[in-house]
Chain A
Amino acid sequence: MRPFTYERATDAQSAVRAAVETPGARFIAGGTNLLDLMKLEIEQPQHLIDVGRLPMAGIESLADGGLRIGGAATNTAVASDPAVRARFPVLSEAIVAGGSPQLRNKASVAGNLMQRTRCAYFYDTAKPCNKRAPGSGCGALEGLNRNAAIFGASHACVATHPSDMAVALAALDARIETLTPSGESRSFTILDLHRLPGETPQIETHLIAGELITAVVLPPPPPGGQVYRKVRDRASYAGGLASVAVAGGQVALGMVAHKPWRAAEAEGALASGASPAEAIARELDGASTLGRNDFKVPLVARLVAAAIGEANGRGA
Chain B
Amino acid sequence: MQTTITVNGQARALDIDPRTTLLDALREHLRLTGSKKGCDHGQCGACTVLVNGVRINSCLSLAVMHDGDQVTTIEGVGTPEALHPVQTAFLTQDAYQCGYCTPGQICSTLGLLRELEAGVPSQETPAGARPVLSDAEIRERMSGNICRCSAYPQIVAAIRDAAGSMA
Contacts and interface: CB of A to CB of B under 8 A. Distances in A.
The answer on A and B forming one complex is yes
Interface of A: 1, 3-6, 8, 28, 30-32, 35-36, 39, 48, 50, 52, 76, 79-80, 85-86, 89, 92-93, 96-97, 99-103, 105-106, 235-237, 314
A4 B123 contact: no
A62 to B, nearest CB: 21
A5 B17 CA distance: 9
29 contacts: A3-B18, A35-B21, A35-B62, A79-B120, A79-B121, A86-B128, A89-B127, A92-B121, A96-B122, A100-B42, A100-B57, A101-B108, A101-B111, A101-B112, A101-B120, A101-B122, A102-B45, A102-B55, A102-B56, A102-B108, A102-B111, A103-B57, A103-B60, A105-B54, A105-B55, A106-B56, A235-B140, A236-B123, A237-B144
A135 to B, nearest CB: 27
B120 A76 contact: yes
Interface of B: 1, 17-19, 21, 40-42, 45, 48, 54-57, 60-62, 64-65, 67, 108, 111-112, 115, 118-123, 125, 127-128, 139-141, 143-146
A1 B115 CA distance: 33
Contacts of B119: 80
Question: Which of A4, A6, A30, A100 is packed against the most chain B CB atoms within 10 Å?
Answer: A100
B144 A101 contact: yes
Contacts of B18: 3-6, 48
A31 B60 contact: yes
Question: Which of B19, B45, B48, B57 is packed against the most chain A CB atoms within 10 Å?
Answer: B57
A32 B118 CA distance: 23
A236 B140 contact: yes
B143 to A, nearest CB: 4
Contacts of A235: 140, 143
Nearest to B55: A102
B61 A106 contact: yes
A217 B67 CA distance: 31
B126 to A, nearest CB: 10
B120 A80 contact: yes
A106 B57 contact: yes
B65 A52 contact: yes
A118 B116 CA distance: 30
Question: Which of A6, A52, A97 is packed against the most chain B CB atoms within 10 Å?
Answer: A6
Question: Which of B1, B108, B123, B140 is packed against the most chain A CB atoms within 10 Å?
Answer: B123
Nearest to A40: B41
B57 A32 contact: yes
A103 B19 CA distance: 20
Contacts of A101: 55, 108, 111-112, 115, 120, 122, 141, 144
Nearest to B64: A6
Contacts of A1: 19
Contact of A103 (B125, B141, B144): B144
Contacts of A79: 120-121
Nearest to A36: B41
B19 A80 contact: no
A39 B123 CA distance: 30
Nearest to A8: B67
A7 to B, nearest CB: 9
Contacts of B60: 30-32, 35-36, 103, 106
Contacts of B122: 96, 101
Given A6-B64, A85-B128, A93 B56 contact: no
Contact of A31 (B61, B111, B139): B61
A85 B65 contact: no
Nearest to A94: B123
B144 A99 contact: yes
